């Protein structure tokens, strides 16, 4: 994997972030930026993560942890680890897993009085390992869906959000609905949830007698941002966390609108655990403690994701509906 320090120079070799997890696909890999040399904001991508928020155990919440996990004394946490910044990705040493997902997981383990054991794995193995009980919980940008709720319990901690990203000097100030992209040339990742939303927007424009947006597809992140800079496209539509992170560290793009991960359907990102294993209540209570204490908000702010905050963690909230 490419060193985080060389991200701005090696972007041409970086795959474009393709998928939000609501569709059940692994987030594509993309390195992070550790400096603001291009005019952006410096972000700590070191393995030590000195700015990470920490918390003390809360005995009354820790008491709700299933006895087998209490006896073990560790919370085994599954995450993809090779995902796109700022979700769950490798630090500058190309070994240590950092990002918003492990940060939240570490906070939850702290509240529960358990030693965190973060294990990086593939997207497919993440669920298999939860099924087998090898992992107690998954923190990996997992969207709540009605189909997944048949096998897993969820404790929500972020809103699943897509974002419109444009060049910093773009005259576009807001994209909120189909009419805002009528006739514009935009880009999106092929085969993603956001592509489904964009195609639906085009159908709505067509039905209203308006000019559809022209869609461009790029395989490399560098190609997308060069297209934005040159004006070949005027906006890119993708997962909010990766767009917000890029806007933060590069300094040459901005977010002009966000859309629920399901288009018109609001869904949540959640801590995921095997159904009926007795852990979900403790997870939700831990997250709610983090929200009330302020540690949650500070952690989201650290990764430029304050706009994905939830007011409270819910157990098994409504998820994206099943698709045919």
The model's pLDDT over 123-180, given as tens digits with 9 standing for 90+, comes to 889 999 999 999 999 999 999 999 999 999 999 999 999 999 999 999 999 999 999 9
Give the confidence band of 206 by pLDDT, cuts at 50, 70, 90.
very high
pLDDT beyond 70 at 23: no
H helical segments located in the chain: 59-62, 67-72, 100-111, 123-132, 193-207, 221-230, 240-250, 280-293, 295-302
SS3 278: coil
Helix 100-111 / helix 280-293 crossing angle, nearest 10 deg: 100
Neighbours of 217 (CB within 10 A): 13
To which residue do tokens 């410096």 refer? 42
Taking only the tens place, the pLDDT of each residue in 263-320 is 888 889 999 999 999 999 999 999 999 999 999 999 999 998 998 999 999 999 999 8
C-beta of residue 272 within 8 angstroms of C-beta of residue 152: yes
Q: Is the pTM of this model over 0.85?
A: no
**CA distances (Å), 79 to each of 18, 50, 141, in order?**
18, 21, 9
| Least confidently predicted of 30-34, 35-39, 143-147, 315-319 | 30-34
pLDDT beyond 90 at 64: yes
DSSP 59-86: HHHHTTS-HHHHHHTEEEEEE-SSS-TT
Taking only the tens place, the pLDDT of each residue in 230-274 is 999 999 999 999 899 999 889 999 999 999 988 888 889 999 999
Beta-bridged to residue 79, according to DSSP, are: 120
């Amino acid at each position: 994997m490419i060193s985080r320090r060389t991200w701005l120079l090696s972007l041409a070799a970086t795959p474009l972030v393709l998928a939000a997890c609501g569709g059940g696909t692994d987030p594509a890999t993309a390195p992070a930026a550790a400096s603001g040399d291009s005019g952006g904001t410096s972000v700590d991508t070191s393995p030590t993560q000195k700015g990470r928020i920490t918390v003390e155990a809360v005995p009354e919440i820790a008491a709700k942890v299933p006895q087998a996990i209490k006896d073990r004394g560790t919370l085994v946490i599954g995450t993809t680890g090779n995902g796109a910044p700022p979700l769950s990705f490798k630090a500058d040493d190309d070994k240590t897993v950092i990002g918003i997902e492990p940060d939240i997981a570490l906070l939850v383990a702290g509240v529960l009085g358990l030693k965190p054991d973060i294990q990086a794995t593939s997207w497919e193995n993440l669920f298999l390992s939860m099924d087998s009980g090898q992992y107690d919980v998954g923190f990996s940008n997992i969207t709540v869906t009605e189909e997944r709720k048949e096998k897993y319990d969820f404790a929500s901690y972020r809103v699943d959000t897509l974002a419109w990203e444009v060049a910093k000097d773009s005259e576009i100030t807001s994209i909120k609905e189909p009419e805002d992209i009528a006739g514009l040339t935009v880009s999106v990742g092929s085969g993603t949830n956001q592509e489904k939303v964009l195609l639906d927007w085009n159908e709505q424009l067509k039905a209203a007698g308006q000019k559809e947006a022209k869609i461009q597809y790029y395989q490399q992140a560098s190609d997308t941002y060069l297209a934005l800079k040159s004006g070949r496209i005027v906006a890119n539509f993708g997962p909010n966390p990766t767009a917000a992170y890029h806007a933060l560290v590069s300094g040459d793009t901005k977010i002009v609108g966000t859309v629920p991960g399901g288009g018109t359907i609001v869904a949540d990102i959640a801590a995921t655990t095997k159904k009926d294993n007795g852990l979900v209540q403790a997870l939700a209570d831990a997250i709610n403690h983090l929200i009330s204490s302020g540690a949650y908000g500070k952690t989201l702010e650290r990764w430029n994701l304050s706009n994905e905050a939830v007011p409270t963690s819910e157990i098994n909230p409504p998820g994206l509906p099943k698709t045919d």
